[in-house]
Amino acid sequence: MSATSDKIRVVVVDDTAETRETIRKLLQFENDIDVVGMGRNGREGVQLAHEMRPNVVLMDINMPDMDGIAATRAIVKDVPTAQIVIVSVQQDTDYLRQAMLAGARDFLSKPPSADELINTIRRLGLASKEQELATVRVPVTPGTSNGASPTALGKILVCYSPKGGSGKTTLAVNLAVALQGEDRKVCVVDANTQFGDVGVFFNLKGKTSLVTAVQQVDEVDESAIASWMAAHASGVKVLLGSQSPEDSELITAAPLKRLLLELRHHFTYVVVDVASILRDLELAMMDAADRVLVVAGPDIPTLANVKKYFDLCEKLEYSKDKPVLVVNKMDKRWGITSQSIEESLKHPVYGQIAYDDRVATQAINAGVPFVMGDRKAGPSTSIIELAAKLRADFAPKDPAGKPAEKRKSIFSR
């Protein structure tokens, strides 16, 4: 691919000569990586980024003159394709959060291991090069508010499972972070209306929630969205679930569906976490969805119910590519393969997520989606791959105004 044929240009910004040298030495034998500049403080970093247009900037936080956070903010504005990685000591968590808000894409603790450093540079370098290509091909037009092309509407991805505990929320939050990018705005809507826990997974709290948004659906605009949604350090915006189960009664199907459709004008991807039941509410969201990611553990009872759900999708005359199967918690030990699942369900496995209970549980307890923390872990790479596949799926332009889906009266509503 031509995006990778050139070397990844890297700028290192750190006030300690020793750190700069260590990093340069770690990278010197990598044929695809080129350290094109080293700065001693934020100001030099900004200047170097302006001149060298790096793909990746390795940025320290505490530096004299201009710190890493201010420098990150400036570079993100000046060179939007540059991906900034904070390289910092562990104690800097608060600063780290600020750096993420300023637009940093990742962080490594100091001193980084060679593997970690090189893998992070390769991954972000590739993303940067893809963005460089995209910028040449599709110039960003002012007035586009969802980060997608001027006319394209964002995509609605509903995470559903016939069985609770399958990993809907795990998928929703991690997929959202994996999809989020410089040129892609992503929000998560916690529409598990009674017992939503997206806020826990993101360690976010807020007073406004889906209840407010649904009630004010006639007033959707950028400022309303900013007031309803909580901002996560990854850049993902989060519409938190209702604060108590009884509030969920205030959320009704028609306005909720309208809200999701409206959000497509403001986000490239609208990721929706829903409950494991099928009521008017869930079906209305599925009607609006571009994809329903059907999350299932690799166990026979769940897969049998997934089969029933796919049958329902057919009766509802959903397009064939709307419901896609994502098998979560995959492990050789279970003795079930994606091939055997495909054979028994007569439905392709769209994505599979590796089982790792340590990674999954630690992420929830820390309130940091694992794709941000341990990107090399099995479940992280699975979800990053899934995000890439979805993006590729949506890359060709959808014909505007898809035919409305007919509903047969299966559920009285």
Ligand X SMILES: Nc1ncnc2c1ncn2[C@@H]1O[C@H](COP(=O)(O)OP(=O)(O)O)[C@@H](O)[C@H]1O
Is residue 373 near ligand X by the rule CB under 6 A?
Answer: no
Structure tokens at 317: 């005359």
Q: Annotate each residue in 158-187 with x if it binds ligand X (CB under 6 A) or - if it does not, as one string.
A: ---x--xxxxxxx-----------------
Nearer to Mg ion, 166 or 268 (CB): 166
Structure tokens at 366: 């820390």
Structure tokens at 368: 């940091």
Alpha helices in 222-273 (DSSP H): 222-228, 253-263
Picking from 261, 246, 176, the residue whose alpha carbon sits closest to that of residue 211 is 246
Nearer to ligand X, 8 or 295 (CB): 295
Is residue 353 near ligand X by the rule CB under 6 A?
Answer: yes
Rounded least distance, CB 163 to ligand X, Å: 8
Query: In angstroms, what CA-CA distances link 411 with 118, 153, 315, 320?
Result: 53, 29, 11, 21
**Which residue of this chain has its Cβ atom nearest to Mg ion in the complex?**
169
Rounded least distance, CB 359 to ligand X, Å: 7
Nearer to ligand X, 54 or 162 (CB): 162
Nearer to ligand X, 355 or 394 (CB): 355
When binding is defined by CB under 6 A, the residue of 102, 118, 364, 372 that contacts ligand X is: 364
Instruction: Tell me the C-alpha distance between 363 and 232, whole Å.
Output: 15
Rounded least distance, CB 275 to ligand X, Å: 9
3-state secondary structure of 164: coil
Is residue 329 near ligand X by the rule CB under 6 A?
Answer: yes
Say which entry of ligand X, Mg ion, none residue 361 contacts (CB below 5 to 8 A, set by partner kind).
ligand X
Instruction: Name the one residue in this structure whose structure tokens are 């397009």.
Output: 319
Close Cβ partners of 194 (under 8 Å, ≥ 6 residues apart): 242, 245, 248, 275
Say which entry of ligand X, Mg ion, none residue 294 contacts (CB below 5 to 8 A, set by partner kind).
none
The sign of the dihedral angle between the CA atoms of 374, 380, 385, 387 is negative
On the question of a cis peptide bond just before residue 323, with omega within 30 degrees of 0, the verdict is no
Half-sphere exposure of 248 (CA within 13 A, CB side): 16
Q: Annotate each residue in 257-296 with x if it binds Mg ion (CB under 5 A) or - if it does not, as one string.
A: ----------------------------------------
Instruction: Tell me the C-alpha distance between 154 and 266, whole Å.
Output: 7
Query: In angstroms, what CA-CA distances link 72 with 48, 60, 86, 190, 243?
Result: 12, 10, 9, 30, 35
Query: In sequence order, what DSSP letters do the residues of 375-394 get, joined into one string?
Result: TTSHHHHHHHHHHHHHHHHH
Q: Within 3-62, which residues bind ligand X (CB under 6 A)? A: none
Q: Which stretch binds ligand X (CB under 6 A): 14-22, 284-292, 302-310, 353-361?
A: 353-361
Q: Which stretch binds Mg ion (CB under 5 A): 86-94, 123-131, 168-176, 254-262?
A: 168-176
Is residue 193 near ligand X by the rule CB under 6 A?
Answer: no
Nearer to ligand X, 112 or 298 (CB): 298
Say which entry of ligand X, Mg ion, none residue 111 contacts (CB below 5 to 8 A, set by partner kind).
none
Interface size with Mg ion, residues (CB under 5 A): 2
Nearer to ligand X, 37 or 167 (CB): 167
Nearer to Mg ion, 103 or 167 (CB): 167
Instruction: Tell me the C-alpha distance between 34 and 54, whole Å.
Output: 9
Is residue 356 near ligand X by the rule CB under 6 A?
Answer: yes
Residues lying near Mg ion in the complex (CB under 5 A): 168-169
Residues lying near ligand X in the complex (CB under 6 A): 161, 164-170, 328-329, 353, 355-357, 360-361, 364, 379
